[in-house]
Amino acid sequence: MKWTKFNQTIRSLAPYRQKQLFELLFNNLLDKWDQATNIPAVLKKELNENCPIETVGTLQKSSDKQSFKALITLEDNEKIETVLMQSRKGRNTVCLSSQVGCTMNCAYCATGGMGFKRNLTELEMAEQLLFWKKFLKEKNKHVDNVVFMGMGEPFANYDNFIKAVEIINDKKYFNIGARKISVSTCGIIDGIKKLSREPKQINLAISLHASNDKLRSEIMPINKEASIKKILLAVDNYIEKTNRKVMFEYLLLSGINDEDEHAEELILLMDKPLYVINLVTYNPTGKFKRSSKFQTTKFRNILETAGLNVTQRHSFGSDIDAACGQLAGK
Ligand code: SF4
């Protein structure tokens, strides 16, 4: 969508009329402004001319038919990727990007390798969800969960991210419950603090991926300013205010962070009732190797035997580069 033109066109309209247009877009899922029955003909004409309803996207489907990736071209021709994951139980989770590229440069991530272009606006984030909502509607299905885990670091674009959450949660627009929305950060302390003060109780995940600072700094440069200790302090503060569980994502990299000693170190860090460790299968982006099944199971057993809360994420769509860490706007 040409959101700049759209914003210019609606700028002089009364607030109720502006809300009505968003409702037509995000709830009624109009394909053309002409389909609207409750707005004046002159406004329809203006909208048709300036900002027709269209998302320029190409679709790819994974061989297991469980995930889809869309490459969306923005109004300035920049490209972003968004992913739909369908669980075997039929739940649909949409993964949104928050930036074109990323400044964080995590070693395991394809997005980090493409550099940073710009932040996405809240409407560009909402448009990704709109794309999937329309896609699923044709199959009589709907979106169950939304995760901000695509391209970019959401907390580096906090204001637009939280405005997108408002749109997604708004009963008149997408109407997706706050508890069905999750955000993942590589460790932006300020963002964790801000989120703890938000009235909306969305889920927080931290990309941890290492059991000590030396290792984490090697694979995640952000750790030089946001050490594990600082992150955990901010997380504990978040838990104190919200009483909500926090998910720690741990990508298992063969020979790097998946040895028994790393599991032992993790036990010391993660032994808190509302901490959950999510072991994630690595999807090759060139630099590292995925942990073997044997070592993954062993690692998990060590954590579970120590009484930690552990889950393991099924990896979706690695054959279409739609899996975690593989999005690069290709
Ligand atoms: S993992 Fe996330 S924060 Fe790190 S470079 Fe990739 S997109 Fe950025």
Sequence ranges of the domains in the chain: 1-54, 55-320
Q: For residue range 228-250, what is the model confidence (pLDDT) as tens digits?
A: 999 999 999 999 999 999 999 99
Pick from 149, 186, 222 the residue to mutate for probing ligand 1's pocket: most ligand atoms within 8 Å of its CB.
186
pLDDT of 226 over the 60 cut: yes
Task: Give the pLDDT band of residue 253 (cuts 50, 70, 90).
Answer: very high
| Element at 21 (helix H, strand E) | helix 15-26
> For residue 56, what are its two tokens?
């320029």
Asked, colleague to colleague, whether 1-54 and 55-320 share their fold, the answer is no
pLDDT of 284 over the 90 cut: no
Task: Report angle CA 140, 321, 120 to the nearest 5 degrees.
Answer: 75
pLDDT of 318 over the 90 cut: no
The residue whose CA has the least distance to atom 7 of ligand 1 is 152
Task: Give the pLDDT band of residue 315 (cuts 50, 70, 90).
Answer: low
Mean pLDDT value across residues 192-216: 97
Q: Is 81 a catalytic residue?
A: yes
Task: Please spell the DSSP secondary structure of 260-305, one letter per residue.
Answer: HHHHHHHHHHH-STTEEEEEEE----SS--BPPHHHHHHHHHHHHH
Cβ atoms of 192 and 185 within 8 Å: the answer is yes
Mean pLDDT value across residues 5-33: 97
Q: Is 112 in the pocket of ligand 1 (CB under 6 A)?
A: yes
Q: Is 279 in the pocket of ligand 1 (CB under 6 A)?
A: no
Architecture of domain 1-54: Orthogonal Bundle (1.10)
pLDDT of 283 over the 90 cut: no
Mean pLDDT value across residues 200-223: 97
Q: Is 186 in the pocket of ligand 1 (CB under 6 A)?
A: yes
pLDDT at position 53 is 97
Q: Is 105 in the pocket of ligand 1 (CB under 6 A)?
A: yes
User: CB atoms < 10 A from the CB of 91, how many?
Assistant: 13
Atom number of ligand 1 nearest to Cα 150 = 7
pLDDT at position 35 is 95
Task: Please spell the DSSP secondary structure of 25-58, one letter per residue.
Answer: HHTS--SSGGG-SSS-HHHHHHHHHH--S--EEE
Mean pLDDT value across residues 242-261: 97
pLDDT of 74 over the 90 cut: yes
The catalytic position among 81, 122, 127, 249 is: 81
Q: Is 324 a catalytic residue?
A: yes
Percent of the chain's residues with pLDDT above 90: 85
Q: Is 153 in the pocket of ligand 1 (CB under 6 A)?
A: yes
> For residue 25, what are its two tokens?
């877009």
Provide the CATH topology of domain 55-320: TIM Barrel (3.20.20)
